[in-house]
Chain A
Amino acid sequence: MSEPILKIRNIESFYGPIMAIRGVSLDVHPGRIVSILGANGAGKTTLMKTISGVMDPEKGQILFEGLEIQGRDPHKVVHDGIVHVPEGREVFPVMTVEENLQLGAYTRNDSRGIERDRELVFDYFPILKERRTQEAGTLSGGQQQMLAIGRGLMANPKVMLLDEPSLGLSPLLVKEIFTILKRLNEEQNMTMILVEQNARAALELAHDGYVMEVGRIVMDGTAEELMKSEDIQNFYLGVQEDGAREERRWKRKKTWR
């Protein structure tokens, strides 16, 4: 496989005295979708924030195309080519769709490129074109998510960090958005890091996966390998083990092998 576009080495991040990420290392190869799974509080969002520069790590390195980017200001990281689509979309509600997209291109000054990317976004999300003059706050949740992704695309990134794009969306919308993400990956060769609670959708979309627990990575592998793991099936995919009784409630201990 090619050299990883993004290498994370022994990152430790804190919220005050609380260590949220306890030495995480991972590799993201160009053109791959890497999914990060984990329960609430495992440190997934913190990891995203640390990569995008919103948080500074206490220790460790983040190498993007061979250069250390940890601790840089977020706008510089965006300029380098990593864009963060935050959890809960966070579009600017009183601005129009078009203005939101325009903001996504804030770090750029090639107007022709911006125009091209706007068309690209409208191509992938036709509904945004329809609603281009509407205030973003009046869009539905799914449309806001599309806008958030579109806004990210406007920075012409090399890597997209997607934090729970399925949050609060109907299964149908999740499917729609994930299909678009898949197309983006295939057609634009977009590299993505995807944080998801919806493990099944995430593993179906992703090529590789990491499982986080209390700030550490406990398991990694290709999406296929992870899907086969008994622990993943039990704890993330909701597969019930055959038990002695139908109404069994207890779960076996995780071993992560």
Chain B
Amino acid sequence: MNMQTPVDTTVINGVTYNAEAGQRPLQVDGCTTIAGLFKKRCAELGDRTVHREKDLGIWNAYTWNDYWDHAKWIGLGLRKLGLKRGEVVSILSEDRKEWAYFDMGIQSVGGIASGVYTTDSGSQLNYIVNDSDSRFLVVENEEQLDKFLTHEDDMPGLIKVIILEDEGLHDLNHPRCILISELYEIGKAVDAAEPDLFESEIDKAKAQDTALLIYTSGTTGMPKGAMLGNENIMAAVEAGARRLQCLETDNQLCFLPLCHILERDVSIYFPLAAKCVVNFAESPETVFNNLQEVSPDTFTAVPRVWEKIYSQVLIMVQEATPMGRAAYGLAMKAGQKRAGYMMEGKPVPSSVAANFWFWDRLVLRNLRRMLGFDKMRRGGTGAAPISPELLKWYWSIGVPLVEGYGMTETAGLATMNTRHDNTVGTIGKAIPGYDLRIAEDGEIQTKGLNNFQGYWRNNEKTAETFTSDGWLRTGDAGRLDEDGFVTITGRLKDIIITAGGKNITPAEIESRLKFSHYISDAVIIGDRRKFLTALIMIDQENVEKYAQDLKVPFSNFASLCAAKEVKDLIGAEMNAVNKEFARVEQIKDFRLIDVLLTAEDEELTATMKLKRSFVEKAHSHLIEEMY
């Protein structure tokens, strides 16, 4: 197995790690590879539950043994069909237990797992499959299968396409398509013939092997595949364990795309170490209901989700009885007072604690139960900036919410706030064992075992991403305070140089705008222009509510955006933000994007952020109107 030179170890929540973080050989419970850890856990935990999935309204539990068996059949089956070590398998599916089965099965036989967003179009899939030179493609259902079928002649490198759900496909007879049940059968046959093959394949894995490929959306040009090795992921797991307490008894909810490094770390790799249970949400639309049902112990989401939950509560409060509203107001006051101490890491005075206890019993506890937050020890947020007010609100209702930062190229983690070491408005300190510096131009640069291996077959881009002395360029500009907390100020390459020659980082203004409940996202325009302007994506739910309360007539989304009152509302938000910035950084004009964008649209990333270049192109007529 993983025979390594002995190093000093420490035990965190029942799992053994190196005493010193970020050191080679990086071991988690003595394992240096993901597949190795997977094997160890399955053997240890056997009949314990690892996944839950809802089927026809019932949450079913699946054990580590199920995890092991299915991953084994998948791995052996793929190997039999022609997968070689170092070759890629693409997975095009929503989150489900089979996603994890495939991830482990592929890695166990030395393959590289690469996720594709289900919102990607057929031609985007085609690009990723060919660029990664995928041998196999896993598709969830007939909808995803059709993306392959429309481009099948352009993907000659694919040996087989594996279909997870056969609904509507009973009559399918295609030489390159097989159902997952057939793959299991092939795997079982191989296992019967060579019972030790799977484990010996797992033992061949090395810390430096590439384990997964993650395509980054890339605001310019085609997506690039970032290669992450076993060691990178293990470094993230180690840092995660040190910064984000996770217990064996924890329940989590998996709902962000597993193609994204954040959810992949949190829902597949961290639980391998922590032994906790992952519950898969039914669909992106049912997340809030699933959250109530599961009531997770820790919950990691993007700011959009935290904002949504907050606005739901606000709407509920507005529609409550006067007494309910008053109680909520008093409870929030008590919560805020306590949160003020807690967020700064100060002890809470007993009078404040007693007051909170009272209002917690009366109001806040019920609120948390309604939201599915009653067991929550910690909420996490990342992948986009979040408003400090929102963080404070969550702390006030008794949900400690901390912000972190990471990117695919840092294996998902780079800096973290924790419950006890938290500075609001910053992204926290560098994770243990990871070095971070601010370059002369303000760029945040990192060095450590988290840093990815490079872009798949793209040495030129890889070289651009590292400095000559081996530090990773994150592309984000920021500053470091004396305690080591990092604040992000913007994206370096997004810097706008106005016609007046002034350098402006739009992200700072954009994230201030986004903190408004009525603005879901914004893009600042102004490169080589006389002044700054903005394209605004409004928050549909909150603006609709506002319009209804003010009796502003509208029929559909476009007419909502066209309403004068709505424009005034956004204008007022804009003015409030403008006051915080110097004159040249103020926005002189804005337009609302009057189409309701969905994840399928090019203008949005899978995490619902606006993509600057696409927005500028698609809405150039709006931009020209302003100049």
Contact = CB atoms under 8 A, between A and B. Distances in A.
Interface of A: 9-10, 12, 22-26, 59-61, 210, 217-220, 243-245, 247-250, 253, 255-257
B142 interface: yes
Contact of A23 (B149, B167, B548, B600): B548
B146 A248 contact: yes
A12 to B, nearest CB: 7
B551 A253 contact: no
Contact of A249 (B142, B548, B598): B142
B598 A248 contact: no
B142 A10 contact: no
A9 B171 contact: no
A250 B548 contact: no
Interface stretch (B85-93, B197-205, B553-561): B553-561
Interface residues of B, number: 26
A59 B548 contact: yes
B626 interface: no
Interface string B131-145: 000000000011101
Nearest to B594: A257
Nearest to A25: B553
Nearest to B174: A245
Contacts of B7: none
B548 A10 contact: yes
B582 interface: no
B551 A245 contact: no
13 contacts: A9-B551, A9-B553, A10-B547, A10-B552, A10-B553, A23-B547, A23-B548, A218-B557, A244-B145, A244-B149, A245-B172, A255-B596, A255-B598
Contact of A220 (B143, B556, B596): B556
B595 interface: yes
Interface in B577-614: 595-596, 598, 600
Contacts of B554: 23, 25
Interface of B, helix, strand, loop or mixed by DSSP:
loop
Interface of A, helix, strand, loop or mixed by DSSP:
strand
B168 interface: yes
A45 to B, nearest CB: 19
Contacts of A244: 145-146, 149-150
A124 B247 CA distance: 77
Contact of B555 (A25, A59, A60, A249): A25
B282 interface: no
Contacts of A26: 555
Interface in B140-169: 141-143, 145-146, 149-150, 167-168
Q: Which of B141, B556, B600 has the most CB of A within 10 A?
A: B556
B231 interface: no
Interface string B11-54: 00000000000000000000000000000000000000000000
B544 interface: yes
B142 A250 contact: yes
Contacts of B556: 217-220, 256
Contact of A247 (B150, B168, B551, B595): B168
A247 B555 contact: no
A17 B466 CA distance: 59
Given A23-B547, A60-B551, 15 more contacts: A9-B553, A10-B553, A12-B548, A23-B544, A23-B554, A61-B551, A217-B555, A218-B557, A219-B556, A247-B171, A248-B142, A253-B600, A255-B596, A255-B598, A256-B596
Contacts of A253: 598, 600
B374 to A, nearest CB: 24
A244 B150 CA distance: 5
A42 B171 CA distance: 35
Contacts of A255: 596, 598, 600
A250 B552 contact: no
A220 B168 contact: no
Contacts of B555: 24-26, 210, 217, 220
Contacts of B598: 253, 255
B550 to A, nearest CB: 9
Q: Which of A25, A249, A255 has the most CB of B within 10 A?
A: A25
A245 B548 contact: no
A18 to B, nearest CB: 13
A257 B167 CA distance: 30
B547 to A, nearest CB: 8
Nearest to B150: A244
Contact of A10 (B171, B551, B557, B600): B551
Contacts of A61: 551
Contacts of A257: 595-596
Contacts of B544: 23
B461 to A, nearest CB: 33
Interface in B206-259: none
Q: Which of B142, B171, B172, B596 has the most CB of A within 10 A?
A: B142
Contacts of B553: 9-10, 25
Contacts of B551: 9-10, 59-61
